[in-house]
Amino acid sequence: MSSRIPLPYAPRVLELFQHPENLGRMEDATVVATAGSPACGDMIAFYLKIDEGKSVIIKSSFESYGCASNIAAASQLTIMIENKTLEEAWNITWGEISEALGGLPKIKTHCGSLAVGALRRAIRTYYKETNKALPDWLPPDLTRDEHHALEEEALADKLAKKYKLNVPSDE
């Protein structure tokens, strides 16, 4: 193709943007994690309420500083993980989110990836904070989506440093 015009959003993205499900801070969350960075223009906070005995996600919610597809991807993921075991939630891929959203434009696939990164970070944080033994399904090394989140944060640091040159000092 000679054209580089990204495809417009699928209707589901717009629907979830207009009426996001599970939006907002959760006061009684078992665990919270964020991914992304304001410098890159997208950041997701993920809240999980976990039934610790059954290792099941009772409910989840999100906040998003990001574009419409970022918001929709995070919201879609909260829907997909409801009443799922932590293992089932862990195994959800950005491809599945994208599919559920009717296909994200190629340039926006990182939005789905960032949502997965935030969720996985939350699950990892849960095991770390509660000092539970790592289950077999939880790889000790970071997965690709978690790396994606890290890479974006590293890029943000780089950008922030670059732009700092231009930022007038507060003194």
Task: Give the interface with other proteins as residue ranges (CB under 8 A).
Answer: 4, 6-11, 14-15, 17-18, 20, 23-25, 34, 38-43, 45, 63-68, 70-71, 102, 107-108, 156, 159-160, 163, 166-168
Is the Cβ of residue 25 or residue 128 nearer to other proteins in the bound state? 25
Residue 85 DSSP symbol: B
Give the angle subtended at the CA of 49 by the CAs of 48 and 50, to the nearest 5°: 105
Minimum CB distance to other proteins smaller for 54 or for 161: 161
Provide, rounded to whole angstroms, the least separation between the CB of residue 165 and other proteins: 9
- Taking a C-beta distance cutoff of 8 angstroms, is the pair 76, 95 a contact? no
- Residue pair 60/46 in contact (Cβ under 8 Å)? The answer is yes
Nearer to other proteins, 4 or 131 (CB): 4
Q: Are strands 56-65 and 42-51 parallel, antiparallel or unpaired?
A: antiparallel
CB of 24 to other proteins, least distance (A): 6
